[in-house]
A and B are shown apart, each in its own frame.
Chain A
Amino acid sequence: MKDLLSVIRDEFGKFILEVREEDLPTVIIKRDGFLEFIDFLRKEGFNHLLDLCAVDYLNYKPEKKIERFEVVYHLYSIPKRELLRVKVPIAESDCWQYSLTSFWKAANWFERECFDMFGIRFKGHPDLRRLLMPEDWEGHPLRKDYPVELPEEKEWKAYRKFKTKAKGAQ
């Protein structure tokens, strides 16, 4: 793993923002060199896309983050038995990231969910639409500025319709 990280530092030096080794080897990389970097990792044997998710760092106190969002990838190499975390900071004003669907079909739903929950668009995704929430839902629930409980007038339209119907029946 140490060798790999030093190779990464050499080859992708201009794109890499930080390399950390806390609980897991973590590479924080700019969005520009991301696809080439993933291609390189796949050739190095990281063949299993374990997880893909986003984190919203709005008003995150312990550390100053460069951008509001981070897309976090966990990659695993089944032949080498190594786990690697890749992070890509995404700005709120420029909220998109490259899609990995051309490398892994598994990325398809992960990215759809990520778009659903955080509103990060994935460039190159064949079928980007909401997954867990209804299609006409407004807002992206896992963002930090989205409340746990919505005020009544902002509730989902279909639900409000049912509620008034139920009240009428009473």
Chain B
Amino acid sequence: MSSPLIEITAKKNSSEAIVEPFYLNLGPQHPSTHGVLRLVLELDGETILRCDPVVGYLHRGVEKLAENLNYNQTIVLSDRLDYIASVANNIVFALAFEKLFNLKVPRRARLLRTIVGEMARISSHLLWLATHALDIGAMTVFLYCFRDRERLLNIFEKICGARLTHSYVRIGGVRLDFTVDIVEDLYKFTEEFPHLITEYETLIDVNRIWLKRTKDIAVVTPEEAINLGLTGPVLRGSGIPYDVRKFRPYDAYDEVEFEVPVGEKGDTYDRYRVRMIEMRQSNKIIRQCLDKLKETEGEPVLAEDSPDLLIPERVREPEPKPHPKRGFIFTGREVSVVPVGEAFASIESPKGELAVYVVSDGSNRPWRLRLRMPSFVHISAIPELTKGHMIADLIAIIGTLDVVLGDCDR
């Protein structure tokens, strides 16, 4: 990768060689690139010689914007990063800020967060399976997955009123408690979901076309996976059991039991298997957390000294509302309560390891908010993974990495 590919395409090729490489531009408007990903390919026939991803079409400057908003307002920005599983982004923002403010989150809030986090994981994996199968040519799975994802989105709607951009997790806890209705819905869902996974698996698990399209495609060795910075199901597909939920437990993950699935060969099929098992494990986690919720009935869901929060003077309410915390109405506490320092938090988002590094200067706005997004690193690995593969396999590779461009470009 010594010279940028885009420049080459612009230049006239003056060499007299008979065989010239063929340049193809894939995207940014292409249905199987899952957003606005553009790939400049250098081809020999149908084989990919080099590949140069061009990103930034969805760049909204979240890091710069966050420096000009107060801490609570950045949570809303986080929804728009990985819009498939926005709760995961909410959680990591909240975790980083809580570390900075030294807040202790109540147990019930931690359980609720774990539940919504795992719901987001299931819904994200369902969407991944649907689109991945559709890219490869299996139409039916798409319909099944969307049918079941709809149920989860309906539950999300009951929890917080939004289907995609939740903003449910807040600094110091969560916004609202679950109602009895939601708990019943979730119990019913967790009861039925394992059978639904079996349904998808009967469709594609031993399907000959599926196997031919996924087996031995984009094999990543464990060493290479770490070198490329891959995380999440992609890394576990290569056989390394690195899961932040186990290695650095956050929220209520140290109270629940679950297994971390790993693959053997590190090909596309292994990554598919890992995600399927992960959905079952998530289901198990939700189940356990729901049982534990009964023990914490009636506890608060927002930390006692949660800063509600660091609002600039002009938004200050004239008189405090009767229930300032419950409805999250800002009563306006003094601004200069944020400790100076820095904090780092990372979680296992559905796509991989999602980390936030925040630097504070004591004012109500973050001095610097750095986001390490899994999709960003995964897209940077596409050139390595596609080398020597066919164009048709490129689509399978983009699918297997499970990238979201809102996540990558920020």
Contact = CB atoms under 8 A, between A and B. Distances in A.
A165 interface: no
Contacts of A47: 226
Interface stretch (B12-20, B58-66, B125-133, B284-292): B58-66
Given A83-B248, A105-B227, A142-B64, A51 B372 contact: yes
Given A23-B341, A47-B226, A53 B2 contact: no
Contacts of A123: none
A98 interface: no
B367 to A, nearest CB: 7
A135 B68 CA distance: 26
B250 to A, nearest CB: 13
A131 B55 contact: yes
A105 B384 contact: yes
Interface string A99-139: 00000111011000100010000000011010111110000
A106 B228 contact: yes
A60 interface: yes
A56 B123 CA distance: 38
A51 B357 contact: yes
B380 interface: yes
What class of interface size applies to chain A in its complex with B? 35 or more
A81 B247 contact: yes
B2 A127 contact: yes
A148 B68 contact: yes
A74 interface: yes
Interface in B367-404: 367-368, 370, 372, 376-377, 379-381, 384
A120 to B, nearest CB: 14
Contact of B344 (A60, A74, A134): A74
A129 B229 CA distance: 20
Interface of A: 22-24, 47-51, 53, 55-56, 60-63, 72, 74, 78, 81, 83, 85, 104-106, 108-109, 113, 117, 126-127, 129, 131-135, 141-142, 146, 148
29 contacts: A22-B341, A23-B341, A23-B344, A48-B226, A49-B229, A50-B346, A50-B355, A51-B357, A51-B370, A51-B372, A55-B368, A60-B361, A72-B357, A72-B370, A74-B372, A81-B248, A105-B229, A105-B381, A106-B228, A108-B380, A109-B380, A127-B1, A127-B2, A129-B4, A132-B56, A132-B410, A141-B61, A146-B64, A148-B64
